[in-house]
Amino acid sequence: MRIGIGYDVHRLTRGRRLFIGGVEFKNAEFGLDGHSDADVLIHAVMDAMLGAAGLRDIGFYFSNKDESIRGIRSTELLARVKALIEKEGYTVENIDTVLVAEYPKIAAHIDEIKNSISAILGVSPKQVGIKATTEEGMGFTGSKEGVAAHAVALLKVKS
């Protein structure tokens, strides 16, 4: 077994679609700013998986200077990370995450996010934990300037 942690943060901005955990939040007033779709939750999951496999971070594999991936859905990047860890001889045992945000509200989307991530990784939704919290008005997430995500990935050697 191998364990890895991931963290990501993106600024909230007007004029962008909002994706979290592979799910589009329709009619969102703000989206997340970034080179890809800026799916902060999936980015944290990818870093956790890469770290557990002893690989480099997502910036190494998916540079924000690479124009061929500008605007790419992070779900596609997650599928590529899954292929990378499988090439190293690992499979996902489970993922656990915490999303830190005042905006958007996550609770109504948790099952859809679990289903999205589990489908890409080829695991049961019960192997994907999604939790959300606020910072009660403190810091950049509390003032609705951005969203942060933490993730832990447990990988096992392929049998």
Quick: pLDDT tens for 67-91: 999 999 999 999 999 999 999 999 9
- 42/82 Cα distance (integer angstroms): 12
What predicted TM-score, i.e. pTM, was given to this entire model? 0.96
CA 61 – CA 63 distance, rounded (Å): 6
Single out the residue of 123, 44, 60, 116 nearest to residue 86, CA to CA. Answer: 123
Let me know: does 98 contact 110? Beta carbons within 8 Å: no
Q: How many domains does the chain have?
A: 1
Residues of the chain with pLDDT under 50: none
Q: Are 50 and 61 in contact (CB under 8 A)?
A: yes
Question: Taking CA 45 as the corner, what is the angle to CA 105 and CA 100, rounded to the nearest 5 degrees?
Answer: 30
Whichever domain contains 118, its CATH number is 3.30.1330.50
Geometric angle at alpha carbon 111, from 135 and 151, rounded to 5°: 50
Percent of the chain surpassing pLDDT 90: 93
Domain boundaries, position 41: 2-157
Give residue 158's pLDDT: 86
